[in-house]
């Protein structure tokens, strides 16, 4: 994979650095509720996966390891040797790979993610669908699983905005990321994660149910497992205050 990643920085570069990794089909704007408080304590670096936001897209196949190496290039570009990392879904998968296979992660929070989804056919079919028919072919069923029904009823404008965000993803880049998720198997890597780690699950997450997070926490020595009530897949969007407080507590340079 040769695509370079677009990123935005927030806050004082003298503060402890913090990388933010977004979910599949979203951009770094998914962290908009967290960034104002995070940048008061951290130098925040929010990046986008290939084909998401303004990041380049590539027709080449990629693995989670390729996405991780692209994030290492972002760290190199901003002159940061080590950073804390928080990621949702695909962003969490990348964070797990980084923590297990590089020395660049200080502290780690992974949210609504998995080390192994065991559904390669599902992800190949989704990739084929967007390549053939564009992003609009999957927008409604995918976004339906991002939020609880109660949240969707109360905040239809948020759901609409995320449908637009997903629709604007590059089919080529999105499909490549889908196939990388389908081939994902980080289970053997988890024992190598030594960074202090917090694993967060949305209690109502149908896309990646809480048992995936529990399995990660069981395999990562000394990790903390937290389930957030009334939250589906985009827990940081649905429960912004809860996730913001958790990030500030778990990624604090004092802890």
CATH of domain 7-250: 3.40.50.1820
The pLDDT value recorded for residue 2 is 55
Q: What percent of the chain has pLDDT over 70?
A: 97
CB atoms within 10 A of CB 227: 16
Rg of the chain over Cα atoms, rounded to whole angstroms, equals 16
For residues 167-182, b (16+ Cβ closer than 10 Å) or e, as one string?
A: eebbbbbbbbbbbbbb
For residues 86-116, b (16+ Cβ closer than 10 Å) or e, as one string?
A: bbbbbbbbbbbbbbbbeebbbbbbbbbbbbb
Q: Alpha carbon of 11 to those of 16, 38, 47, 73, 143: distances in Å?
A: 10, 8, 15, 20, 31
Give dist(CA 114, CA 168) in Å, integer: 25
The pLDDT value recorded for residue 57 is 79
Could you state, in order of their start, the residue ranges of all structural domains in the chain?
7-250
pTM of the model: 0.95
Q: How sure is the predictor about 1, in pLDDT bands with cuts at 50, 70 and 90?
A: low
192-248 pLDDT, tens digit each: 999 999 999 999 999 999 999 999 999 999 999 999 999 999 999 999 999 999 999
**Where is 228: in which H helix or E strand?**
strand 224-228
**Locus of tokens 């889908």:** 178
What single DSSP character describes residue 187? Answer: G
Helices (H), 134-204: 139-144, 149-154, 156-167, 171-182
């Amino acid at each position: 994979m040769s695509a370079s990643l677009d990123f935005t920085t927030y806050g004082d570069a003298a503060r402890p650095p913090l990388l933010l990794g977004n979910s599949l089909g979203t951009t770094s704007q998914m962290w908009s509720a967290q960034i104002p408080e995070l940048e008061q304590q951290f130098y925040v670096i929010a990046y986008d996966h290939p084909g998401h936001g303004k990041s380049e897209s590539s027709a080449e196949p990629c693995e989670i390891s390729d996405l991780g190496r692209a994030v290492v290039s972002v760290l190199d570009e901003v002159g940061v040797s080590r950073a804390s990392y928080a990621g949702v879904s695909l962003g969490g998968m990348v964070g797990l790979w980084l923590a297990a296979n590089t020395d660049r992660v200080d502290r780690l929070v992974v949210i609504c993610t998995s080390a192994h989804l065991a559904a390669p056919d599902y992800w190949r079919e989704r990739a084929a669908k967007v390549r053939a028919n564009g992003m609009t072919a999957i927008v409604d069923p995918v976004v339906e699983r991002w939020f609880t029904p109660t949240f969707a009823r109360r905040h239809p404008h948020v759901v609409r905005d995320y449908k637009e965000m997903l629709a604007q993803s590059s089919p080529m880049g999105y499909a490549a990321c889908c196939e990388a998720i389908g081939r994902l198997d980080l289970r053997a890597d988890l024992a190598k994660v030594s960074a202090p780690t917090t694993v967060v699950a949305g209690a109502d997450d149908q896309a990646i149910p809480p048992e995936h997070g529990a399995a990660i926490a069981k395999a990562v020595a000394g990790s903390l497992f937290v389930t957030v009530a009334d939250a589906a897949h985009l827990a940081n969007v649905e429960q912004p205050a809860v996730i913001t407080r958790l990030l500030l507590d778990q990624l604090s340079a004092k802890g």
